[in-house]
Structure 1
Amino acid sequence: MRVWSEIRYMSVDLDLEQPEKTEEAGSGASTIVTRLLAGPGVSLLLMAIVSLATWTGIQANNADPFILQSPLTEDWWQLPLSVFAHSGMPHLSANATMIAIFGSVAAISASVLRYHIFFIVSGMLAGAAHVLATAALGTPSGGLGASGTAMALMAYVLVSNDVSSFVFDRVSRTVTIGLVLALAVGLSLTSAGVQVGNVAHLSGALIGGFAGYFHILRPR
């Protein structure tokens, strides 16, 4: 009888502990879903809304508010709007796919605020680099789209993962910088072409690569 009582009490204890583990697992899954919806989910929704407004503006011959142009200080609102605006459905769907994939991976270990700051800042810097570079070369071109941000998120994920961190921890700072630069150039070359924001892609990949090395999206 004593042995049976001990077994019975033990089974009760195990049953009581089970809901706590289930609650912890449920809480973790809920946090991830919240980050995905409030992070990449919101970004993709804004991209769709602003792109639709851009297409409406194109039809009305008034798309200037959505296209980043030189000088950058003249119409400041072009900086944030141009990140979310896209020239057409193929342009939007291509960038949205990359952001849905790599943005989701980055958002899992990032705070929502850090994700959105990184999204908009990397996009604006990449767009500004494109506009300034093309103007300096005598072939001024406007900036439009989140491809710089998409490249930044891709590079961030590739550099900040545990495998890459394991490698970077065992090589010199010079080698690390060289590897990040090589990765950024390689990513930008995969999408290089005529009428493509090559400078924006390279700038975004550089921003994401070095941001990934320092894990700036992870909450402290």
Structure 2
Amino acid sequence: MARDGSPIVEILAIFAIVFVLQYLAALFNLAVLAGLFVLQPPIESSPWTAVTSVYAHANLSHLVSNSVAFVLFGWPVARATSRAKFHAFFLATGAVAGVSQIVVTGALASAPLVPATPTAGVLGASGAVFALLGYLLAANRLSTSLGGVVSVPRWVTAIVFVIVAGFVTVATGAPGVALVAHFTGLLFGLVAGWFRVLRV
């Protein structure tokens, strides 16, 4: 396992740098710079924001809460995998979670008889943080030990993952929270943990 740097410290540093850039963009009213960080529809008009939005945050409390959860759930995962795999997992799950939030809420808003509004924009690491939580839940020693003793059909496992992801998402929901992104991140993390994709 590579120990050539801490992905936790590196990602926290990226959070801080991006937050400073966001602050400067707001302070000097730099619309061009501000548009680099928020993932919003139509996604194809600024596809890079699927990446940059993962490291951006709406305000200081958003940054702090995501950073604390990131350290809490990310630290054990980072210790069990390589630096490159951790970064790739964090970025991929965060981007997929953000894109899913935009796509699903956009689809719901255009559906007849569904009182929903499309997401104006998404930013933050919470989708990736929920993926780290899901990975921890599914890939820890207790889960893998039970999986070796008790034979459970894959379809039952899939249903349990969806129920757990739904329950945790609803339990952590609040106004303005990207629930679809949280659900997607957690579900991807559970599946990745089940298959132990970060194993080295």
Normalising by structure 2, we get a TM-score of 0.88
Q: Which amino acid aligns with 2:48?
A: W
Match of 1:189 in 2: 170
Match of 1:77 in 2: 48
Match of 1:54 in 2: 22
Q: Which amino acid aligns with 1:163?
A: L
Deviation at 1:167, TM superposition (A): 2.5
- Counterparts of 1:1-220 in structure 2 under 5 Å? 34=3, 37-59=5-27, 60=29, 62=31, 63-138=34-109, 139-141=117-119, 142-169=121-148, 170=150, 171-219=152-200
Deviation at 1:56, TM superposition (A): 2.2
Match of 1:22 in 2: none
Distance (Å, rounded) in 2 between the aligned partners of 1:134 and 1:50: 26
Deviation at 1:46, TM superposition (A): 0.5
Q: Which amino acid aligns with 2:124?
A: G
Distance (Å, rounded) in 2 between the aligned partners of 1:147 and 1:156: 14
C-alpha change, 1:58 and 1:168, in structure 2 (3 Å) is: farther
Q: Which amino acid aligns with 2:18?
A: V
Deviations 1:91-133 (A, max 9, x none): 0011101111111110111011110000000000000001112
Distance (Å, rounded) in 2 between the aligned partners of 1:122 and 1:102: 14
**SS, match of residue 192 in structure 1:** coil
Deviation at 1:69, TM superposition (A): 0.8
Deviation at 1:55, TM superposition (A): 2.3
Checking the alignment, whether the CA contact within 8 Å between 1:168 and 1:176 is kept in structure 2 is no
Q: How many residues align?
A: 187
**SS, match of residue 48 in structure 1:** helix
Checking the alignment, whether the CA contact within 8 Å between 1:129 and 1:203 is kept in structure 2 is yes
Q: Bigger radius of gyration, 1 or 2?
A: 1
Distance (Å, rounded) in 1 between the aligned partners of 2:74 and 2:126: 12
More helix by share: 1
**Identity percentage over the alignment?**
33
**SS, match of residue 187 in structure 1:** helix
Normalising by structure 1, we get a TM-score of 0.80
Checking the alignment, whether the CA contact within 8 Å between 1:155 and 1:183 is kept in structure 2 is no
Checking the alignment, whether the CA contact within 8 Å between 1:155 and 1:209 is kept in structure 2 is yes
Deviations 1:58-94 (A, max 9, x none): 3315222110011112112211110000011100011
Gaps of 5+ in 1: 1-30
Q: How much is the aligned-residue C-alpha RMSD, in angstroms?
A: 1.6
